Structure 1
Amino acid sequence: MVRDGWLLAEAERLGGRIEVERPAAGLIASMADLNGPGFDASQLDPLVRNFYEHTARWRMEAWTSWSPAFWPGGELVSRLFGKRVQQLALPMRPLDVAHGIDSRVSVILDIAGRQLGAAWLRTLRATGDYVFSGFYSVRSLPGADRPSVHVAFPLEAGNVQVFLRPYADDGALVLKSPRGRFGDDGAYVLVEDGGCSFAARVPVHESFRIYVDPGGVLRTDHVLQLWNTTAMRLHYKLERTD
């Protein structure tokens, strides 16, 4: 079962140590690690930056909406992975997330105490079932002019990896996995079979906009597309717990 069982193996692979549920841990140690041509973390609203650098201090409420044409496919993915391996359990109905989502952040540190990455484990508050279990880090693709947010979702025989390109827009953070060639930002599936690894780019494109609304509330709009068509929309309300 995937759940969070992959975390120890990832720490061993990176040669680091795990701090489970570290207080005030963030998905990204410093948003400045993403700086480069076209992105400057100092342009982000302080609340947006605080969420990514201290994710463990925040809780979330979520709303979901599926395109009717893609609902059967989403239900299939949820059944194949969500119930069986507690991963990629896509919320299919608004009531699935009506009681909110709980999250835990555990970090992997190197020998000097620097953050190599963070596991973000999200579960349904009502049932405790895992929704997503991902590993977040800052990575630069070969030939890229600046770093990307890299998210890996472990599966039984491989993983799904997403490279999200960051932008600052009037205080908001925009993350995109756009269309492109193999080796560009985007979504990939890695399968391991018989000691060999196989990777393919998949036509899944996501965009996230993390922003502060006029009332001072931190929110996120998440759009998932297959090819050129919107399959699902998620909206998150984020609140500090301290």
Structure 2
Amino acid sequence: MDRRRAFAAGAFAVATGGALAAHASRRLSRARVDDVPLARVRSRGRVGADFHERSGLAGDRVVGEMDDLDAFAREDFETSRVAPAVRRFYERTSEYRMTVSAGWHRPFRAGAALAAPVTSALEQLNLPGPCERGRVRVVENDLYALDADAATSATGGAADVVDPREDARFWVRTDVDTGEAVFVAVYGSHVHDDRRYVNIAVPLPGGTLSTVLEPRALALAEGDDVGVDLTTRAPGHPGLFWSTATADYRLPAHQRFRVWPADATPADDATPADDATPADDATAPSVDRSSAVVATHEMWLFGRKFLTVRYGAER
């Protein structure tokens, strides 16, 4: 009898495990994508502020996140209306110093607190954690073109890389007080159905976290100028993705960036978001309101907002 029970229990466990594995496999299969041009830039351990050098992927220094904002112009996104201060930030990014503060939303604070030592050790996605409430980091911006030859090879010195995007470039944000990397990413773009998207690749051990965003006009409360609103909540290619060596998967997550002149106010700030949840107060960056830009970066997971990052940038 004991043997029969043991056999039955074992068979049940195997069947249950098989069913769960099959369910997970189906979920992964549905999440898999093959029509979005995503970079595969993976680190082999720590990322850090020197990743672009250790990987052998960096070319010459460049000035901005992009050369010309007008490359993203569409009938429904008139880049000629973008405020001069915002355009200058995108095209002359390395000339700015930035302040960074983070607010973590419930119920994700505990997980963020556990992850903070890991992101600090990796020197990647290295934001102030929930235990550092009110901390403001000051970062410098360095940008480098991605070496065209390295971007088409299978391996780099400290990384594996294949990058099908256009005009890719490293953006390295470094804490001026500690010298640690706060964020290291390879920015590029691609065109699909006559729309150009921002396409960001974040190297991590074992894979690449990518974000594809659609740029839109951010209405301001006063004047005719607009800011820039970048969102994954758009049909088609926009979204967050995890890339392994062999496959790309769409994640149940969203991001939104808003960038506007510091002396202006986004028109939608007067309307609270439906999914707003209480967060640790992220200290408002101190900037020269006559010559700077400010930005917010919001993230959602499974439909719940878990992070709001605030930036201030001044030359």
Following superposition of structure 1 onto structure 2, how do residues 62-211 of structure 1 map, counting pairs within 5 Å? 62-80=100-118, 82-93=119-130, 94=132, 97-108=135-146, 116-141=167-192, 144-170=193-219, 171-178=226-233, 184-192=237-245, 197-211=246-260
Query: Aligned to 2:301, which of 194, 217, 226?
Result: 226
Q: What is the identity, as a one-letter code, of the residue corresponding to 2:51? A: G
Compared CA separation, residues 234 and 138, structure 1 to 2 (3 A): same
TM-score of the pair, normalised by structure 2? 0.63
Pick the structure with more helix per residue: 2
Is contact 1:99–1:124 with CA below 8 Å preserved after alignment? yes
Partner residue, 1:54: 92
Q: Distance in 1 between matches of 2:80 and 2:56?
A: 31
Partner residue, 2:60: 19
2:57 counterpart of 1:2? no
Paired residue total: 220
Please state how far the C-alpha of 1:179 moved relative to its aligned partner: 6.5
Q: What is the identity, as a one-letter code, of the residue corresponding to 1:40? A: E
Please state how far the C-alpha of 1:123 moved relative to its aligned partner: 2.0
Q: Distance in 2 between matches of 1:231 and 1:201?
A: 18
Q: Distance in 2 between matches of 1:168 and 1:161?
A: 22
Q: What is the identity, as a one-letter code, of the residue corresponding to 1:187? A: L
Is contact 1:7–1:119 with CA below 8 Å preserved after alignment? no
TM-score of the pair, normalised by structure 1? 0.81
Which sections of structure 1, spanning at least 5 residues, go unmatched?
A: 12-16
Q: CA offsets per residue over residues 137-165 of structure 1, 9 Å max, x none? A: 12124xx3401111100112221110011
Q: Distance in 2 between matches of 1:207 and 1:219?
A: 14
Is contact 1:8–1:18 with CA below 8 Å preserved after alignment? no
Q: Distance in 2 between matches of 1:109 and 1:5?
A: 14
CA RMSD in angstroms comes to: 2.5
Q: Which of the two has higher C-alpha Rg?
A: 2
Which sections of structure 2, spanning at least 5 residues, go unmatched?
A: 1-45, 150-165, 220-225, 264-288
Identity level (%): 24
Q: Distance in 2 between matches of 1:76 and 1:131?
A: 17
Is contact 1:37–1:145 with CA below 8 Å preserved after alignment? no
Classify the secondary structure of the residue corresponding to 2:71: helix
Q: What is the identity, as a one-letter code, of the residue corresponding to 1:177? A: T
Please state how far the C-alpha of 1:109 moved relative to its aligned partner: 6.5
Compared CA separation, residues 128 and 9, structure 1 to 2 (3 A): closer
Is contact 1:106–1:119 with CA below 8 Å preserved after alignment? yes
